Structure 1
Amino acid sequence: MATAAFSSIADTVKFDILSETHALENAKKRKEIARTFISDTVTVPTEDMYAYATLATLGDDVYFEPSSAALEAHIAKITGKEAGLYLPSGTASNQIGLRTHLKQPPYSIICDHRAHIHKYEAGGAAFHSGAAVIPVIPSNKHHLTLQDVKDNIIISDDGHFAPTEIVALENTLNGTIIPQEEVIAISEYAHSVGVKMHLDGARIWHVAAETEMPLSELCAPFDSVSLCLSKGLGAPVGSVLVGTKEFIAKARRFRKLFGGGMRQTGILAAAGAYALTHNFPQLPRVHALARRLEAGLEEIGCAILSRAETCMIFYDPTPIGVTFDEIGNRGSALPEPLFLGGSRLVVHIQTSEAAVDDLLGVVRVLAEEKRAAGFVKPEGQAESAFKDVYVRRVPKIDK
């Protein structure tokens, strides 16, 4: 029998997170997501995904969680690896993968200068692994080549340098695909000099969908691969790291050490399984929609900085006299607003065709207004020039 004192405490503890309007708010959010081009991380679970996830097992993943273990084993199987490890994020998957390979500094990691592990993981390689990063600008402006790696790798006993122990590639990188023959050439060379290969395969699903290569073939050149479930595939949370059984056993220890050991992850693993079955098949449609958006922008007169090889386009509207802020402000003022982040446009499984049409309509009208006001494109203005850093625009999302 609860005492009055305990009942008083219980009254202060209880909390209902569901508002009376949360169903309407979720419906509004799903509508916004269909019109958001900022990233594919905005995708959300569908009601069917939620329903499937509630059927998962209820184990503890620090000990053993059946649904999570099944997902790990399945992703290991389809990537041609021995074992997998479910992790809360792509950053955790990459950083634990790197730390598991690396033992005692000094050492270095080679990667593309635009790579997520270098630019967007808070200096994790240095912090967690004590590793120097050698960021390389691709000589072809698209992807690292074997020659790029040979020109920058450190294989030396000279005490002035940190020997290279990992070559880390990212596929896709900014939506672009590394040719598999180049990946194989880099891998064969790296392994011949005793260097490990890691793949940030957050969007490797897009590569498989576009090239029609099996995941096992795409992942074969690598000692470890990180695959994200919450971007292009639309699951709410999670990435899976794959490698040998010995590698994953060590990575599991680092997951616990870094505070990434989780409990009832079955519901999240089930959402990932649903995404593999129902959302992966949608990626060819996503790529086609991205190419339609690219073609429309080019037809209007925008410069395409990086083409829609998969789900991303980088563009520049200055050839039509328009700025990103003008496009963003006009898009956000539509009766059904668009949410834009600058030069990078990301199409995802929940992007609507109407949103693409409306975005092209906004750009087209602005271009017409500029021409009517007397704007003339300067002669010799560069078209389709590759740019390293995309322009970010802070979107207005609180309308």
Structure 2
Amino acid sequence: MTVPRQADVTAGVSGQANVDMLTSVSRNFISDTCTIPTDGQMLAALGATRGDDVYQEDESTQALEARIAKLAGKEAALFAMSGTMTNQLSIRAHLTSPPHSVITDYRAHVHKMEAGGIAMFCQATTDTVVPSNGIHITAEDIEPHLQLGNNIHYRPTKLLCLENTLSGMIFPQDEVIKISQLAKKHGLKLHLDGARIWNVAAVELESRGLDARKEEDLQVVLTDLLNPFDSASLCLSKGIGAPIGSAIVGSQEFIERARWFRKAFGGGVRQTGPMAAAADHALTYHFPRLSTTHALARKLAEGLKGLGITIVAPVDTNMVFFDPTSIGLNMTDIINRLESLPQPIRIRGERCVIHHQTSPQAVEEFIDTVARMKSESSVEVVVQNVNLSRKVGEKQVKKDYRLPY
């Protein structure tokens, strides 16, 4: 599969307003959901079939589902509108009737960020686990939380949910396998929130010396990553930048059950072909760019670390979490300063996310801006210390004196 680099957005195809929007997006570090569809995606959508997906009569949607199922090494796939929907459909399809419970990491998206869907749709409770190693949960962390047997005072564990990546950190595959073995031992199902599993696959391809542009290489890696799971949700709008959509993979029986719930949830969209075609185009042309996003994330982290800023989580993929208080800077001030640049850079807090349309120049400007703020802060503290010294006469002022901010 040859994947040439294409211009993302041109005025001739998409208009100047969208060219300008791409410039803004290239300087947006809030999330990898902020990418915009490329000309190639929009043209692919234009050429898509326009059948009714509820009746399973759309060829473009069926082609995307078949492609993703094959890449994942699963029997079938189902296209839906969002990662939240595909996670909740998966959880609902696995669970039968209450009482039942789901074990997750305490930071898991399915627990914290999906509007209480597990309780709302499944009448299930979540049992959250704090990782003892501070990074990812382990089989040893999970086992004491299992509710097994027939004690009527407890809600039995029926499902384990993992997330990869979580805050940009890759879940070690050897630990995934141990958790899968634990689940099988007790007859439990294992689901993956793979919102950014494409990023994990890109890292794995690189580590194995394989080619991200070759479908067969991606299939080998993704199949290996998903083999321990009974089901997985693969977001299409985050890493690879589809305008909309996510996919579930699993057994044929599981996907048929999920399709039923998708209809009940109001997710039975009719003419999905253009959306599926745009996602299919992104999988071909945008997935190979992910390794570049990881390199830019490392560059940002190294630049900030070089200024003395604390990087608070491992930078395994495309996310950088930083704490500027280590050099006496305030996060709000950094947000406002970046926003006030002639071409604004947008962040919302300590999390910075690099995406396939992020500008390398924006990364450099980010680091340079924080460096200037550090320099200005140091000068201000020196001046304040001098003034304070004059007020206290000959009294020595400590070298590490810092005024509150």
The aligned residue for residue 86 of structure 1 is 79
Q: What one-letter code is carried by the residue in structure 1 that aligns with 2:332?
A: D
Q: Quick check: 1:39 aligned with 2:31? A: yes
Q: Quick check: 1:265 aligned with 2:265? A: no
Q: Quick check: 1:106 aligned with 2:99? A: yes
Match of 2:102, SS state, is: strand
Q: Quick check: 1:369 aligned with 2:376? A: yes
The aligned residue for residue 295 of structure 2 is 288
The aligned residue for residue 385 of structure 1 is none
| Separation (CA, whole Å) in 2 of partners of 1:185 and 1:361 | 44
| Separation (CA, whole Å) in 1 of partners of 2:330 and 2:314 | 19
TM-score when normalising by structure 2:
0.86
| Separation (CA, whole Å) in 2 of partners of 1:151 and 1:285 | 40
Note the residue ranges of structure 2 that are not aligned, 5 or more in a row: 1-13, 206-219, 383-397
Per-residue deviation at 1:98?
0.3
Q: What one-letter code is carried by the residue in structure 1 that aligns with 2:49?
A: T
**Among residues 121, 141, 153, which one is paired with 1:160 in the alignment?**
153
Match of 1:374, SS state, is: helix
| Separation (CA, whole Å) in 2 of partners of 1:185 and 1:332 | 45
Q: What one-letter code is carried by the residue in structure 1 that aligns with 2:223?
A: S
| Separation (CA, whole Å) in 1 of partners of 2:24 and 2:335 | 14
Q: Output aligned runs, 1:299-338, within 5 Å.
A: 299-338=306-345
CA separation of 1:89 and 1:378: change in aligned 2, threshold 3 A: farther
Per-residue deviation, residues 335-380 of structure 1 (Å, max 9, x unmatched): 101111110000000000011011101110011111112279969x
**Among residues 249, 256, 268, which one is paired with 1:242 in the alignment?**
249
Per-residue deviation at 1:248?
0.4
Q: Output aligned runs, 1:43-62, within 5 Å.
A: 43-62=35-54
| Separation (CA, whole Å) in 2 of partners of 1:371 and 1:84 | 56
Alpha-carbon contact 1:303-1:315 (below 8 Å) kept: yes
- Equivalenced residues, count: 358
Note the residue ranges of structure 1 that are not aligned, 5 or more in a row: 1-21, 380-399
Alpha-carbon contact 1:206-1:232 (below 8 Å) kept: yes
TM-score when normalising by structure 1:
0.88
The aligned residue for residue 389 of structure 1 is none
| Separation (CA, whole Å) in 2 of partners of 1:222 and 1:104 | 22
Give the root-mean-square deviation of aligned CA atoms. Answer: 1.4
The aligned residue for residue 366 of structure 2 is 359
| Separation (CA, whole Å) in 2 of partners of 1:363 and 1:100 | 48
**Among residues 169, 186, 189, which one is paired with 2:162 in the alignment?**
169
Q: What one-letter code is carried by the residue in structure 2 that aligns with 1:248?
A: I
The aligned residue for residue 138 of structure 1 is 131
| Separation (CA, whole Å) in 2 of partners of 1:358 and 1:151 | 48
Match of 1:283, SS state, is: helix
| Separation (CA, whole Å) in 1 of partners of 2:112 and 2:158 | 19
Q: Output aligned runs, 1:202-281, within 5 Å.
A: 202-212=195-205, 214-281=221-288
Q: What one-letter code is carried by the residue in structure 2 that aligns with 1:210?
A: V
Alpha-carbon contact 1:319-1:377 (below 8 Å) kept: no
Q: What one-letter code is carried by the residue in structure 2 that aligns with 1:40?
A: D
